[in-house]
Structure 1
Amino acid sequence: MKYLLAFFIVTLFILSCKEEKGYSSIDPVNWEKRTLAPSGSDSMIVGSTYLSVYSQIYSQTEHVTHDLTATVSMRNINRADTVYLTRAQYFDTKGNLIRTYFNRTIYIAPMETIEIVIDENDKEGGTGANFLFDWTAATDVQEPHFEAVMISTSGQQGLSFASQGIRLE
């Protein structure tokens, strides 16, 4: 009876373990519902923004890293006008493309924020990961704002910092 009980407890423990996937959380935003047909408006400006994102940072030496969760925010800072993103690409430390989150025009409504979360267990980006965003907006509105917040907690200690996007074109 004692062995049967131990077997039952071990079986329950194994079945309750959930394997973590090593990908970013892309489920919270349904990109398909945000897709728009491109318009040929002449009154639009086109831009690209670079955003540094850290999946890991060095700790103690260059041989020890600390894993981080990154929240990438794509913000429309206009009160009345929509802005449009045409592509979001995620690159690793060496500049290799890891994944493209969307490669079609999506919208961000006025004062709305949409997010991509890079899970703490997703180490593909490394210590020098980054995003490139391509976007369009009407000529008389503010361009979209991009920022990332990186965080990790362990016990009673926490670490957090942020980075902001830089317009390239």
Structure 2
Amino acid sequence: MKQYFLFIVFIFSFVACEKQQQVSSIHPENWSKRTIDISHKDSLQVGASYLSIYSQIFSLSESKTHNLTAMVSLRNTSLNDTIYIEKADYYDTHGTLVRSYFEKTIFLAPLETAEIIIDEVDVSGGTGSNFIFEWKIPQNASVPLFEGIMNSTVGQQGLSFTTQAVRIK
């Protein structure tokens, strides 16, 4: 009976640990409804933006870190034009590609926002993670806005801050 009980506890612990490590925003179904073929649109302006993200920050010392949840906001600031995001690549502190969020171009309708969530348990990016976004917009359309909102709450304490992308191309 004791062995049976220990076996059940072991299995439950294993399943609970597996569930904690699940990363919510990397599943393809999050993006499949937004894909679009823009190969026939040849008059689009091309651009790229860099966004710093913090999945961890240092706390008390260089050897202690605090995990954060990060929400990456992809915003179409145009009142009239649909814009196209070709890549959303997530890099870690060392500049190594962690993951690409979609394989096909996605669209954002006028004033639409899409989000990428980096769960608090996902520390693969580290303290200096970042995104590179490649995008295309119609001539004279406003450029997309990419923002990062990082937060964490423990008990009655809360921490939150934002970052904003810079255009690099």
TM-score by length of structure 1 reads 0.87
Q: Give the corresponding residue for 1:74.
A: 74
SS of residue in 2 equivalent to 1:25: helix
Question: In the superposition, relative to structure 1, how do residues 150 and 29 fare at CA in structure 2: closer, same or farther (>3 Å)?
Answer: farther
Query: Are 2:104 and 1:128 aligned?
Result: no
Name the CA distance, whole Å, in 2 between partners of 1:134 and 1:93.
20
Question: In the superposition, relative to structure 1, how do residues 73 and 28 fare at CA in structure 2: closer, same or farther (>3 Å)?
Answer: farther
**1:40 CA displacement:** 4.1
Unaligned runs of 5+ in 2: none
**1:26 CA displacement:** 3.2
- Aligned partners of 2:55 and 2:68 also within 8 Å: yes
Task: Name the aligned partner's letter for residue 21 of structure 2.
Answer: K
SS of residue in 2 equivalent to 1:34: coil
**1:76 CA displacement:** 0.3
1:115-145 deviations in Å (ceiling 9; x for gaps): 0000000010000000000000011110110
Please list, as runs of the form range in 1=range in 2, the aligned pairs for 1:84-99 lying within 5 A after superposition. Answer: 84-99=84-99
Question: In the superposition, relative to structure 1, how do residues 113 and 29 fare at CA in structure 2: closer, same or farther (>3 Å)?
Answer: farther
Question: In the superposition, relative to structure 1, how do residues 156 and 133 fare at CA in structure 2: closer, same or farther (>3 Å)?
Answer: same
Unaligned runs of 5+ in 1: none
Q: Give the corresponding residue for 2:50.
A: 50
**1:102 CA displacement:** 1.3
Name the CA distance, whole Å, in 2 between partners of 1:64 and 1:56.
10
Name the CA distance, whole Å, in 2 between partners of 1:113 and 1:41.
22
When structure 1 is superposed on structure 2, of 49-58 and 28-37 the one drifting more is: 28-37
Q: Give the corresponding residue for 2:149.
A: 149
Query: Are 2:56 and 1:64 aligned?
Result: no
Query: Which structure features the higher share of helix residues?
Result: 2
**How many corresponding residue pairs?**
163
**1:35 CA displacement:** 1.0
CA radius of gyration, larger in: 1
**% identity of equivalent residues:** 50
- Aligned partners of 1:58 and 1:65 also within 8 Å: yes
Task: Name the aligned partner's letter for residue 93 of structure 2.
Answer: T
Question: In the superposition, relative to structure 1, how do residues 148 and 28 fare at CA in structure 2: closer, same or farther (>3 Å)?
Answer: farther
